[in-house]
């Protein structure tokens, strides 16, 4: 009995096939939502490591508990200013990397 070889695909190939190629509107939206989800999880993890409630973090940042909840669940697009305030209140370092064509610009 001959064994059938199973075709495997990379994650990049699957995204290209089912979401769209890099640079398309659907792919850009997917990548943005994924980034916001990861950011929300990072905020929640840092808050929990600092043993803060959402309400306590909100007070430190100057926003309501609901805004922190929305940030953590990625249901809200936050401004960079708010994100920076949240990480500052958590005493956490955040870095942004911007890629301009083939060159990276690091913003700390």
Cβ(46)–Cβ(90) below 8 Å: yes
Find the Cα–Cα–Cα–Cα dihedral 16, 20, 21, 24, rounded to 10°.
Answer: -160
pLDDT of 101 over the 80 cut: no
pLDDT band at 105 (very low <50, low <70, confident <90, very high): low
Q: What is the pTM of this model?
A: 0.69
| From the candidate CATH numbers 3.40.50.150, 1.10.10.10, 1.10.3330.10, 1.10.260.40, the one assigned to the domain spanning 11-107 | 1.10.260.40
Kindly report, residue by residue over 60-88, the tens digit of the pLDDT. 999 999 999 988 987 666 788 888 899 99
Query: Residue 102, by phi and psi: left (phi above 0), alpha (psi -120 to 50) or beta?
Result: alpha
Partnered with residue 99 across adjacent β-strands are: 104
The tokens describing 58, both together, are 């909100």
């Amino acid at each position: 009995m001959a064994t059938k070889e199973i075709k495997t695909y990379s994650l990049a190939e699957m995204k290209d096939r089912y979401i769209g190629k890099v640079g398309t509107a659907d792919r850009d939206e997917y990548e943005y939502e994924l980034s916001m989800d990861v950011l929300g999880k990072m905020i929640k993890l840092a808050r929990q490591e600092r043993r803060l409630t959402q309400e306590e973090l909100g007070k430190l940042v100057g926003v309501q508990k609901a805004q922190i909840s929305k940030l953590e669940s990625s249901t809200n697009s936050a401004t960079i200013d708010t994100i920076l305030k949240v990480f500052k209140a958590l005493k956490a370092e955040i870095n942004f990397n911007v890629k301009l064509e083939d060159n990276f610009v690091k913003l700390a």
